[in-house]
Structure formats: structure tokens, C-alpha cells
Amino acid sequence: MVAGESGESRKISTELSHEKPEHLLKELKKLQSLDLPTHHEVLLEDIHPDRLKKIFLKTYEHQPENFETLMGMEGVGPKTIRALSLIAELVYGVPASHRDPARYAFAHGGKDGHPYPVDRENYDRSIQI
């Protein structure tokens, strides 16, 4: 979400944080029923709308004025931003840039085990491609 071309995605993600949580959760649950190609960068099974309800309520109550404020809110982390970005792309047609490192942040896991340990087979396959 840091690439210049992701400006519109940042704007829509911030605007989405002003939506009632019930609306966002409804949209995420609808997205889970989509039949996406296997090469899609964001796996819908990784998104758990019910776990996001509390943070969506918080962003709705605070109405962040811009993306920087949204990112600075306590509890807003990669999963929240990923969910908002996913809604922005699939519902509003505003994708994050493919040059943006955040788009691939959850592709391979982390050396420190967060958000999960590196999947070496997937990592090697990505390098090969």
C-alpha cells in the first residue's frame, strides 16, 4: 500500500474504515463465496470476518481522516489493511499496485514465524518463477 499507484486504494481503504462494521463484514462474507483462480494473491480463507469485527467497529467510531491515521490506530495491523484492500479491489475495482510490497507480504511467511513460518517449498517455487 506504499507504492505511488496505490493512492486510490489507500483512499478507498480509509473511506471503508468509516463504514458500519456490519456492512464490511457482510462484504467480506460475500467475498468468501467467490470462486477465484488459484493464482489470486490474497487467499480468502485467510480472512476471518468475525475476527475483524472489533477493529472495524473501532475504525468506524474514530473515522480516521487519512490512510496514515488509519495505519497509526492501535490494533490496525496487516490483516485489517489486507481486508480493506481486498474489499477496495474486489468490490470497488481499486487494486493496490502490483509493485507494492504489501501485496505480497503474506505470500511466504516470515523468518521469525510471523504471520506464519516460511513455507520453503512455496518460497523456492516463487523464486523459480
Cα four-point dihedral sign 101, 106, 112, 115: positive
DSSP 8-class letter at 76: -
pTM above 0.85, yes or no: no
Contact in structure between 29 and 128 (CB atoms under 8 Å): no
Domain borders along the chain are 4-128
Q: What does the pLDDT look like over 34-90, one tens digit per residue?
A: 665 554 455 556 667 777 788 889 999 999 999 999 989 998 887 788 788 888 888
Distances (CA, A) of 88 to 18, 36, 100: 13, 16, 15
Q: What does the pLDDT look like over 11-29, one tens digit per residue?
A: 988 998 999 999 888 888 8
Report the SS3 class of residue 67.
helix
